[in-house]
Amino acid sequence: MSSWIYIFGVLTIAALVIIIASGSVLGLKGPAWWHYTSVGHFFNSIHLCRSSCFLLHGHPPVGQVFMAAWRGGRSRTWMSGAITFLISIAAAFTGYVSQQNFDAQWIATQAKDGLNSTGIARSSTS
């Protein structure tokens, strides 16, 4: 048995491999490299592009819940994928504030305001 929609799962895994590889290089070289060199810019862009692909291709497998993908003892399979998707969103947001430039500072203050407004980060309200 086969189904074409599972190609999105394979694309998501492929994106994750590239994210980890490019992220490892970025982490080893440091912010001065990814901000001020052309090769660093390239790896930075690869990392951002594959992160977008990871979340984009992660949507259809999560949406398979509407195709009753939990049947036949597959509920844990779907739930593990859905939780992975949610955690990857958090990982992407922490990536935005890890850029170490003014963009990251701006996003951090906006995110702090947003979280404060929901009452999640009460200890840091001012």
Partner 1 sequence: MYTYHVLLLPVVVIALVSAHILLVRRTGIVPPLPLGELAIHAPAADPPGAGAPGRGMKRRRLSNAELNEAARHYDGPYKPTTDQGAVRRDRRRRVVGAASDDLSLLADDRPSTIAQWSRQMPVDFVTTAVSELDGSSGTAGYGRRTTTTATASRSHSSTCRSGLA
Residue keyed to tokens 């597959």 = 74
Residue 83 lies near partner 1 (rule: CB under 8 A) = yes
Under rule CB under 8 A, residue 77 binds partner 1: yes
Which of the stretches 37-45, 68-76, 114-122 binds partner 1 when contact is defined by CB under 8 A?
68-76
Distance in angstroms between the alpha carbons of the first and the last residue of the chain: 57
116 is an interface residue for partner 1 by CB under 8 A: no
Amino acid letter at 118? T
Shortest Å, Cβ 36 to partner 1: 19
Other C-beta atoms lying within 10 Å of the C-beta of residue 52: 11
For residues 58 and 86, the answer to whether their CB atoms sit within 8 Å is: no
- Residue among 92, 91, 88 nearest 80 (CA): 88
Which parts of this chain interact with partner 1 (CB under 8 A)? 1-3, 6, 9, 13, 16, 20, 23, 27, 64, 67-74, 76-77, 80-81, 83-84, 87-88, 90-91, 94-95, 97-98, 108
